[in-house]
Structure 1
Amino acid sequence: MGYWYLAIAIGAEVMGTIALKASDGFSRPVGTAVCIVGYLIAFYFLSLVLKTVPVGIAYAIWAGMGIVLIASISAVIYKEIPDLPAIIGMLLIVAGVGIINVFSTSAAH
């Protein structure tokens, strides 16, 4: 269940971060509320993940996937298109997450 909880935590963190921009510095109540709820859900599920997945592995996956998803969604919603170095960097992050999941003996499956 740890990796399912991690997927929920990542989704909630992405939702919270996208809403953070929409909150306009916490001046818009709906964006602010979505941001806070998103982060609360993310941290709750991350706490469940850490019962079965090592913290370093969980955080690497959470952060890496969050970066890529947020950049992708913000490109669509906010028209914040990453340049080539940013895209290459994100591809390296995805490769790193893949290597962790496929080859790491510390990742609990």
Structure 2
Amino acid sequence: MMYVTLAAAITAEIIGTLLMKQSDGFSRLWPSLGTIGCYLLAFTLLAQTLKAMEVGVAYAIWSGAGTAVVAAIGVLFLGEAASLPKVLGVVLVIGGVALLNLSGAH
């Protein structure tokens, strides 16, 4: 169950980040409110996850997965450049999260 809650926290964080882009520096009301709501939900779900998972592992998965997915969305759908350093950085983030998960998420 902790992985389901963590996945929901990651999803809320990703949506919140994408809405932040749409908020135009918090100058547009609805995307700004959506950003705040999504981040409140993300932190609430992350806090619930921490009841059953180590904080270092949970936070690494939450932030790493969010970073990797948002970077991929930026390249695939928002027209951002896919440079070798960016791709390598995402691969390293995913590898680091996998190593942390293997070393103590259970």
Tell me the TM-score normalized by structure 1.
Answer: 0.91
The number of equivalent residue pairs is: 106
- Give the match for residue 65 of structure 1: 65
Tell me the TM-score normalized by structure 2.
Answer: 0.93
- Aligned identity (percent) is 43
Distance 1:35 1:96 in 2: 27
Q: How does 1:76-87 map to 2 (within 5 A)?
A: 76-87=76-87
Would you identify which runs of 4 or more consecutive aligned residues in structure 1 move more than 6 Å? none
Kindly state the Cα deviation for residue 67 of structure 1 after the two structures are TM-superposed.
Answer: 0.6
Kindly state the Cα deviation for residue 98 of structure 1 after the two structures are TM-superposed.
Answer: 1.6
Distance 2:63 2:29 in 1: 26
Kindly state the Cα deviation for residue 77 of structure 1 after the two structures are TM-superposed.
Answer: 3.1
In structure 1, the gaps of 5 or more residues are: none
Kindly state the Cα deviation for residue 81 of structure 1 after the two structures are TM-superposed.
Answer: 2.3
Distance 2:75 2:31 in 1: 18
RMSD: 1.1
Letter in 2 for 1:70: V
In structure 2, the gaps of 5 or more residues are: none
Q: How does 1:68-107 map to 2 (within 5 A)?
A: 68-102=68-102, 104=103, 106-107=104-105
